């Protein structure tokens, strides 16, 4: 009897193991129906939605300089498009962590190449992560995206409250509130307000358009 029980337990272990392999080898394929930020999207497959956190990278938070631009880059590339997700893990929020492919392009890699993401070294352990670090260095040297300023604050530091205003500005960009006609610098807490949709490349453009400077950030 004990021998039979051992065989049954062994059988279930094998089934669970093979199920895990099957899951890992079965990519999610569907339409992107939501973009929360630069590194988090929602994919619809067979009437089921999957929250996807991009593997191995970290884009600026939405309230950081380039946070909205990273989100726009991701949205422009994959929103309402058919994508394939190769899953690596599930995070503590229940999101699938994986690689996002649209055709032959990998969204994770494109964000790094264009200067909209850091390689998240703490959570990037695959062999290709070294190549990603080279792409990040190249984007930094060429001052692409967030690397237009010398020492941008990494999002993991920003989340811990280590933001540095002088280092977290987008050079030469201001957002104007179309309702109040007030414009803000990129490190202002109102920079990405709901009605701050008017973008100016310099201060004079904002003033000439009839906007007045914010009394808090004093641009």
Nearest to 39 by CA among 78, 65, 88, 82: 78
The H or E element spanning position 208 is helix 203-208
Nearest to 171 by CA among 197, 194, 152, 193: 152
Catalytic residues: 53, 61, 95
Beta strands in 65-131 (DSSP E): 82-90, 96-102, 105-106, 118-119
CB 39 within 8 A of CB 54: yes
């Amino acid at each position: 009897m004990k021998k039979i029980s051992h065989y049954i337990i062994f059988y279930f272990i094998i089934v669970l193991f093979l199920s895990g392999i099957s899951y890992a080898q079965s990519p999610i394929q569907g339409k992107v129906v939501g973009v929360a930020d630069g590194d988090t999207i929602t994919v619809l497959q067979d009437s089921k939605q999957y929250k996807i956190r991009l593997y191995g990278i970290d884009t600026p938070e939405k309230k950081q300089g380039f946070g909205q631009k990273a989100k726009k880059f991701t949205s422009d590339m994959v929103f309402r498009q058919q994508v394939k997700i190769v899953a690596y893990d599930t995070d503590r929020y229940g999101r699938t962590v994986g690689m996002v492919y649209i055709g032959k392009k990998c969204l994770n890699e494109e964000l790094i190449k264009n200067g909209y993401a850091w390689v998240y070294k703490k959570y990037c352990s695959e062999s290709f992560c070294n190549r990603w670090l080279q792409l990040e260095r190249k984007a930094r040297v060429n001052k692409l995206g967030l690397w237009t300023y010398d020492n941008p604050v990494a999002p993991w530091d920003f989340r811990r409250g280590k933001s540095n205003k002088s280092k977290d500005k987008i050079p030469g960009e201001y957002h104007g509130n179309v309702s109040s006609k007030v414009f803000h610098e990129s490190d202002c807490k109102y920079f990405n307000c709901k009605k701050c949709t008017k973008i100016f490349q310099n201060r004079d453009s904002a003033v000439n358009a009839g906007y007045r400077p914010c009394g808090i950030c004093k641009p």
